[in-house]
Structure 1
Amino acid sequence: MAYSEILYDVSDKIATITLNRPDKLNAWTSVMEGEVRAALIEASDDDNVGAIILTGAGRGFCSGADMNNLNSLQQGASSGGPTSDSVRAVDNAIPGGLSLSNDFSLRYTYFPTVPKPIIAAINGPAAGLGLIMSLYCDVRFASDAAVFSTAFSRRGLIAEHGISWMLPTLIGPANALDITLSARKFTAAEAKDMGLVSKVFPMEGFMDEVRAYATEMATLASPRSIRVMKRQIYQAMLNSLEHSVLLANSEMPASFESEDFKEGVAHFVERRAPNFTGN
């Protein structure tokens, strides 16, 4: 599929989705939104893809919604432009095959349903929608050049697209209130201290570090195990400890009978690289 506002590349079992409006710090548009969704579907369906990296071209990750789009919303239907309702009237088909609650089937919240790991490589500024999008990725890494902001309170907006739930879940209510109410900018180092990102790497060699991590996941981890564990962890965020234990108990027999379990034992005993099939 040809894309106009993203780049899509598959190499060494890694699909890389690059937001590609570098002159606008990769500001988010409806076209970009549709293309990211399509690329995630493409990566989900590709047996040659074991991990997905989402990053930005140039010096930014994503600066948030394109201000021209926000201006059109402010003008509203009186100018013939899009309204807040029409902007949200998008195709909500789930790209992935993981069965989760409706909480993870909405606009932007659907990333966890993708059966492969999505790694946010936050190379530069991530604000507003850029920050939101990264929250729904499974793992987040930042370069030391990355700067973050929720931005919403300084635009007269509110905490959008479930960020009022996802942020406290990931970094706690105190940190979530701090960065949403103030909309202040904060560094990659502070983001790591909060638990918002797992690691911070120097900008020089940043993507090499992210790709090295993704390569290990794509080549050494069972695709079946990843599918099941993503579902377990995201379900657990919404359910009780008892439910998590019962779900694990129900999944274990199928794991023991899977081809990937047999291969997981065999490659360890034989001291060789694994050849997982996802079955």
Structure 2
Amino acid sequence: MDQVVPAVDGALTSRHDGPIRSETVNEIALITLNRPERLNAFTAEMRALYLAALDRADRDPDVRAIVVTGAGRAFSAGADFKALEGLDAETMRARAAEQELPFDTAMRLRKPLIAAVNGPVAGIGMAHALMADVRFAAPEATFTTAFARLGLTAEGGLAWLLSRLVGTARALDLLYSSRTVGAAEAERIGLVQWTVPADELLDRARDYAAGLAANSAHSLARMREQVHAAWEQDWRTAYAFSQDLVYESLDRPEFAELAARRSAQRTGRAAGSGTVPSRPSSA
């Protein structure tokens, strides 16, 4: 059963949907994969609840950025093997057709999504982690695609994600071999951006998210759209699209307000440092 805690002075809201826990503190939504006894392995129910939590945070005007992590010692072991028993193509197609939100909801967000990878992540769990915009990892984090060991192909768009993050050869290596990549190698090849001590992981991810939340929400949403679209565009199309978005931004009241504020701040700093000449004395 859902548990909802009303906001206190706008500071905290929380919700517990069984295998998914979410809370919002100071404009940052934290979504936790919450099946630690199963290493946060996904079931159909858990996936639906996770996608709903992402969508809810994206639509919440009080949320400016989203962080996702795992409870316990893993981020996600992938698909729950118990849920895979007896699964066939027809059943999986039926489940996909009945799904209220698309599997790639994370790729459609308007707000930044940061993954705090606290431990092992595999298979479909890895796809969810890589759909985040940036990733922090604890030293204990490991990454493995796992599909080749099960007679499966790269699920959840993982081939697309890997090739763009680490390049074609490395993507094929990780998919072919299903080998386990530690946090240090993951950072070196671009699977994660920062490796930080486990006891600092969540704080660092939240601090980063808070820094993004201080920027223009419009700018962040449009830049996310630009980066994703650019993979399928030639240079002229990408450049023209970027110019159209700039023109759109210039006509927004937010730009005039922020530009004026920035100018005032610079003038104030210059005056404080003595670089602005004083008016000549009339004496």
Shorter-chain TM-score above 0.5: yes
Distance 1:92 1:169 in 2: 28
Say which SS state the counterpart of residue 129 (structure 1) adopts.
helix
Q: CA RMSD in A?
A: 1.8
After superposition, give the CA deviation of every residue in 1:184-235 in whole Å (9 maximum; x if it has no partner). Answer: 111011111111111111112111111110010012x100001111111100
Q: Write the letter of the residue equivalent to 2:243.
A: N
Q: CA deviation at 1:88?
A: 2.9
Question: Match of 2:134?
Answer: 139
Say which SS state the counterpart of residue 76 (structure 2) adopts.
coil
Q: CA deviation at 1:50?
A: 0.4
Distance 2:229 2:250 in 1: 22
Q: CA deviation at 1:16?
A: 0.7
Q: Write the letter of the residue equivalent to 1:195.
A: G
Q: Indicate yes or no: 2:29 matched with 1:34.
A: no
Question: Match of 1:9?
Answer: 23
Contact conserved, 2:32 with 2:69, CA < 8 A, in 1? Answer: yes
Question: Match of 1:102?
Answer: none
Q: CA deviation at 1:268?
A: 2.0
Of structures 1 and 2, the larger Rg is shown by 2
Contact conserved, 2:51 with 2:105, CA < 8 A, in 1? Answer: no
Q: Indicate yes or no: 2:109 matched with 1:114.
A: yes
Question: Match of 1:69?
Answer: 83
Q: Indicate yes or no: 2:98 matched with 1:84.
A: no
Q: Write the letter of the residue equivalent to 1:265.
A: A
After superposition, give the CA deviation of every residue in 1:54-87 in whole Å (9 maximum; x if it has no partner). Answer: 11111110110001011231xx59xxxx833234
Question: Match of 1:258?
Answer: 252
Q: Indicate yes or no: 2:46 matched with 1:46.
A: no
Point out where structure 2 has 5 or more consecutive residues left out of the alignment.
3-16, 267-283
Distance 1:234 1:136 in 2: 11
Say which SS state the counterpart of residue 271 (structure 1) adopts.
helix
Contact conserved, 2:21 with 2:31, CA < 8 A, in 1? Answer: yes
Paired residue for 2:194, among 182, 193, 199?
199
Q: Indicate yes or no: 2:197 matched with 1:183.
A: no
Q: CA deviation at 1:138?
A: 1.2
After superposition, give the CA deviation of every residue in 1:154-183 in whole Å (9 maximum; x if it has no partner). Answer: 112111122122211111011111111110
Q: Write the letter of the residue equivalent to 1:70.
A: L
The number of residues matched between the two structures is 252
User: Structure with the greater relative contact order (CA < 8 A, sep ≥ 6): 1 or 2?
Assistant: 1
Contact conserved, 1:112 with 1:230, CA < 8 A, in 2? Answer: no
Distance 1:224 1:231 in 2: 11
Q: CA deviation at 1:145?
A: 1.0
Q: CA deviation at 1:108?
A: 3.0
Question: Match of 1:268?
Answer: 262
Q: Indicate yes or no: 2:223 matched with 1:229.
A: yes
Distance 1:259 1:58 in 2: 45
